[in-house]
Amino acid sequence: MQAREEAIARKAKELNEKVDNDRGYVYRLLRRIVRKLARSKNKASNDEITKSTRSRGILTSDSLRQTKLEIGSAGEKVVEIAQQLALLNPTAIPTLGFKHYGGAPPTDSKLAGNWKLRFTTAADASFSESEKRGVATTSQVIDAGKGTFTNVVDFEKGKLKGFRVVVEGEPTSATDIGLYFKSVSILRKSRFRLFGKFTIRLPSRLIRWLASRNKVEGERNAGPYLRLRYVDDNLRMHVTDSDNWFIQTRL
């Protein structure tokens, strides 16, 4: 009996250590983002595309001052076509119904549902394949009633199943939505339910303040936001305050 209790105690200790390791991984990513946001404006204000390798970050999206990918001629062509398509946007008020914007119910929102990222110029919005975690699959779930964007990241293998990053949106115009990071949930493979998921609340106001420091004088009070350039039943395109493009299709 004593030997069994000691074995259970060792197993619990191992699980705690693994959870601590995953938590440390997220904290390291958060520190990377804070350092990136706090860089000197003199070093980050150039309009030229910054060379970058594939990022392993998880707090991607649309909410922070992002580095641009070197997308090459093919990527530049995609952006050029996207800009032309944006002129033909069939939706007069893309934010209609999102958190009841325009007095419309959330059921009228064309943003609601599950979306798959197909193209982006943001360097920190993709995951490279690794031997430890395999291929990563990503998607985004938009709840128009609650006004949330949930970035979903699932890994093919390993103890770490994936992440869920929740960003709250606040429509400010017919095309613009202000963004506020709310939380990161880490999902693990575990026989013990207690260790299968834990959530870290994010300092939304601090993140917005740090992001605003890299903006030009006239935009410092705006905070992170996305601007919808094209929305129909199956395709969505937007740019961020960092001037990065995101093109997504409905799942």
Within 4-143, strands assigned E span 113-120, 136-143
Task: Identify any residues that bridge with 165 across adjacent strands, giving them in sequence order.
Answer: 151, 184
CA 177 – CA 224 distance, rounded (Å): 9
Query: What confidence score (pLDDT) does residue 56 get?
Result: 36
Query: What confidence score (pLDDT) does residue 249 get?
Result: 94
CA 121 – CA 83 distance, rounded (Å): 13
* Phi-psi label, residue 43: left if phi above 0, alpha if psi -120 to 50, beta otherwise: alpha
- What residues have CB less than 8 Å from 241, skipping those under 6 apart? 65, 211, 215, 219, 222, 223, 224, 225, 226
pTM of the predicted model as reported, rounded to 2 decimal places: 0.68
Query: What confidence score (pLDDT) does residue 235 get?
Result: 94
Query: What confidence score (pLDDT) does residue 166 get?
Result: 95
pLDDT one digit per residue (tens) for the chain, 251 residues:
556 555 544 554 554 454 445 444 444 444 444 444 344 333 433 443 333 333 333 333 343 445 565 677 888 888 999 999 999 999 999 999 999 999 999 999 999 999 998 888 887 666 777 888 888 888 999 999 999 999 999 998 888 889 899 999 999 999 999 999 899 998 888 766 666 788 888 776 666 666 666 555 656 556 789 999 999 999 999 999 888 999 999 99
Burial letters for 23-59: b for 16+ Cβ neighbours within 10 Å, e otherwise? eeebeebbeebeebbeeeeeeeeeeebeeeeebebbb
Query: What confidence score (pLDDT) does residue 220 get?
Result: 55
